[in-house]
Homo-oligomer: A and B are copies of this chain.
């Protein structure tokens, strides 16, 4: 039995408006996406229904907070997914969001599971399509925007950034060139702090200058082809 809705003008209306959040991070060189259990052997992206009078972005941020405890990170809209049949419960368009989060993020939800974002694990609804779009968006904006402001800690070293960028672009960057080019985007600044972890010269720390979606000066970087 499907959910249905009729509006006050007498026409069929969507049964609800959903949001889905693609929470991405990198661990051990792999790009991971957060999934939650749905039914037997079926996993889905975290998400929920938009309440009446609620901004869909707020719904997405609320869901992100519930799942990860994270407050601030970067969230950007990926697009609408609204083809008929995408949700077996009825006519439920979904607005998908992309939220990169730091590798250290702990997810309290016991049903949560990080999966390989580039794998082929089947997902509920049209969530595989949504996830693929999210990966493509992250790759495409990597060197052109501050999209990584959500995945890097508030202050980070260039080595730390380089490891994340390498995992996303699926390539290796020369440390010297990487630092030069990331600074050249104009999106980061030195904090003045330093951090030493074990042996070796302490590394200078940097931060992104903005949390809101911004475009950088842009350098072209090679992304490994599938």
Asked if B5 contacts A8 (CB within 8 A), the reply is yes
Does A138 count as interface, using CB distance less than 8 angstroms? no
Sorting the interface of chain A by its residue count into under 10, 10 to 19, 20 to 34 or 35 or more gives: 35 or more
Which of A9, A13, A50, A56 has the largest number of chain B CB atoms within 10 A?
Answer: A13
Interface positions of A from 132 to 179, Cβ below 8 Å from B: 140
Q: Which residues of chain B are within 8 angstroms of A5 by Cβ–Cβ distance?
A: 5-8, 13-14
* Copies in the assembly, this chain: 2
**Contact (A7, B17) CB under 8 Å given A12-B52, A82-B95:** no
Does A72 count as interface, using CB distance less than 8 angstroms? no
Chain B nearest CB, measured from A111 CB (Å): 23
Asked if B13 contacts A84 (CB within 8 A), the reply is no
Asked if B13 contacts A8 (CB within 8 A), the reply is no
Interface positions of A from 1 to 46, Cβ below 8 Å from B: 2-9, 11-17
| Chain A interface, DSSP helix/strand/loop, else mixed | loop
Q: Which residues of chain B are within 8 angstroms of A55 by Cβ–Cβ distance?
A: 82-84
Q: Which residues of chain B are within 8 angstroms of A7 by Cβ–Cβ distance?
A: 3-5, 15-16, 90
Asked if A17 contacts B82 (CB within 8 A), the reply is yes
Does A54 count as interface, using CB distance less than 8 angstroms? yes
Interface positions of A from 58 to 99, Cβ below 8 Å from B: 77, 79-80, 82-84, 90-91, 93, 95
Does A220 count as interface, using CB distance less than 8 angstroms? yes
Chain B nearest CB, measured from A57 CB (Å): 8
Asked if B17 contacts A14 (CB within 8 A), the reply is yes
Asked if A53 contacts B84 (CB within 8 A), the reply is yes
What are 17 residue pairs bridging A and B, where the CB atoms are less than 8 Å apart in the complex?
A3-B8, A4-B8, A8-B15, A11-B49, A12-B51, A13-B13, A13-B16, A14-B14, A14-B16, A54-B84, A55-B84, A56-B82, A77-B79, A77-B80, A80-B80, A93-B95, A218-B220
